[in-house]
Amino acid sequence: MLRSLVGSEMCIRDRHELLRDLRVLGIKAFLSPLPAAAGFSAVTPAEIGRVASEIEQSSLPILVHCELMRASEIDRLLARAAEGDPRDFQNFVGTRPTEFERSAIQALIEILAEYPGIRAHIVHLSDAGSLEPIRKAKAAMPGRLTVETCPHYLRYAADKIPRGETRLKSFPPIRGSSNREMLWAGLQDGTI
């Protein structure tokens, strides 16, 4: 069972029971704003910090969808994308810049540094530019940080996706060819 660490409602109502439930294998956190239809909300690094000591005591890993941005940033980027060609995959990629992923990963690394009993797992890594800080964090905190990527990040490249192809839209998005090759290198050297 994988439960989501969701905003203040979970922090108040369900957290203590959740952290003791033996069926719970980890706690998932989304740092990016989510649509209301998702059924839960994103958390901030500060909210993770507020419950960090309890997460430490539970020994559960926190699994983090690493894109950190404000809703206003997304709104601005979506408005700019609406002015472009909606069938152009690069137009879509522009709505989720690598800085969102890098900021989230940096915030997660800072939380790990502050709370030495926490283990974390980065889910869906798409930005190869994040590999170096991840390598450094893994070396400084052995066994406390793991990372995975997805097959579509290793198979496809944004610059090769045909106009009008919507089946490959994901968050974070697929990046370019050179990024894909660097992800393969991170997989081969054990960073991922």
**Share in percent of the chain as helix, strand, coil (round to 5):** 50, 10, 40
Percentage of the residues of the chain whose pLDDT score is greater than 90:
65
Would strands 120-123 and 26-30 be described as parallel, antiparallel, or unpaired?
Answer: unpaired
Query: Smallest Cα–Cα separation from 171: which of 42, 50, 54?
Result: 42
| Token pair for 86 | 């909606």
Gap between the Cα atoms of 156 and 92, Å rounded: 15
Q: State the pTM of this model.
A: 0.89
pLDDT band at 6 (very low <50, low <70, confident <90, very high): very low
Contact 48, 104 (CB under 8 A): no
The mean per-residue pLDDT over the stretch 132-144 comes to: 98
pLDDT value of residue 37: 62
Could you read off the pLDDT of 14-57 as tens digits, one per residue?
Answer: 667 777 788 888 888 888 876 666 666 788 898 888 888 888 88
pLDDT at 11 over 90: no
The total number of residues shown for the chain amounts to 192
Q: How far apart are the first and last CA of the chain?
A: 23
